[in-house]
Chains A and B, each alone.
Chain A
């Protein structure tokens, strides 16, 4: 049974694409972070979002072979009320 889980885990990791770290201006509270996380996760290209509130950064993990342009990220963050800094 264990080897099945290991295989599934390895498979899921192998499909993870590249990551991108974005500095966010104005992200000072959990509500800010939640809005940013929700906006980015709404995109099909995004596999995961990791918010670092203390570091004022968001780490985006893309699905294999997919990515969002910096302009689109800036627009998503603007819709959430914040500014991207690349």
Chain B
């Protein structure tokens, strides 16, 4: 059960600080790093509505190393482009392999994600359904909200303050506060979880 929670955290966090689909022909390199795990994602936007990507995750739990490799796709269902804001609805699905010292299992997931942002306000929500073998299924929810203390231009550093809440199944919600810094095609996020633990994310589009 616990490794699934970590996997879901990885899958969601890698997409949470960026749109799941970028511009046509864009490559996206993303990484999420926590005190107990790390994740690397490489994605390619085939069009501005469809992207594919590969995740590799590694975690260390109570001295036991585990890894997860997954191939996934994201589709932009709907985008609202306004002069001062943008809203999106995405769906995603994928499958992969989980490995630990004892065994190797296949797993699949599906996700629904929505976001809305202006240059001052940012919000997103995500729901995921995770299936491993025929015995266990899991639900995962995450919401994010943030604001920019100032409006930055393209060739300036843009700063965001973000709060993130997430829940797996019936477990208590976990809250993380983050600072996000943007500069042109690169982004970093540094966060602290209430209850202990850090998070460091980065992303580059090229």
Contact = CB atoms under 8 A, between A and B. Distances in A.
B151 A54 contact: yes
Contacts of B82: 25-26
A31 B117 CA distance: 13
Contacts, number: 84
B154 A33 contact: yes
Interface residues of B, number: 33
A83 B117 CA distance: 16
Nearest to B158: A30
Interface residues of A, number: 27
A36 B56 CA distance: 30
B83 A85 contact: yes
Interface string A5-41: 0000000000000000001011111111111101100
A47 B83 CA distance: 26
A31 B48 contact: no
B106 interface: no
Given A31-B185, A53-B152, A39 B23 contact: yes
User: Which of B23, B151, B153 lies at the interface centre, i.e. has the most chain A CB atoms within 10 A of its CB?
Assistant: B23
Interface of A is mostly: mixed
Contacts of B152: 30, 53
Interface of B: 18-19, 21-24, 26, 47-49, 76, 79-86, 117-119, 151-154, 158, 182-185, 187, 205
Interface of A: 23, 25-36, 38-39, 51-54, 56, 78-83, 85
The 4 closest A-B pairs by CB, nearest first: A26-B81, A35-B23, A81-B48, A25-B81
